[in-house]
Amino acid sequence: MSRLPEQRAIEFAAEALVRMADATDAQTEQALNSARRDALRGLDKTRTSAWLWATATAAVLALAVATIFLDGNGEDKTLLAQQPVADAELYRDMEFYLWLSEQLESE
């Protein structure tokens, strides 16, 4: 018995898939468009979070540089003594930024 050549089978199947995709009704198409727009809105949230993380990271770096500078001069031992307190406040700030981010996203 003769068999369908491999390439023809591939072409038939691909054609069947194209016809299935083309048969998508208007309601489904609308749902797909809506899903796409929702997904792209997620891109804005990703950007906002990235911006907040960048700000928080910059704040941590600035604090670290300031600490090293002051320690190097040996002038302000008080700040070194307060280091754990400063770190704790920084973490509270980060929590605040994250909370602020969630509030902005929910608006």
Instruction: Please report, as ranges, the residues that interact with another protein according to CB under 8 A.
Output: 1-4, 6, 8-10, 12-17, 19-25, 28-29, 31-33, 35-36, 38-40, 42-43, 46-47
Q: Cα separation of 46 and 54, whole Å? A: 12
- Smallest distance, Å, CB 1 to another protein? 7
Integer Rg of the chain from CA? 29
What's the rounded Cα separation, in Å, for the pair 53 and 51? 5
Please give the single-letter amino acid code of residue 25: D
- Residue closer to another protein (CB basis): 28 or 82: 28
Q: Cβ 32 to another protein, closest distance in Å?
A: 4
CB of 13 to another protein, least distance (A): 5
The whole-angstrom separation of Cα 100 and Cα 23 is 45
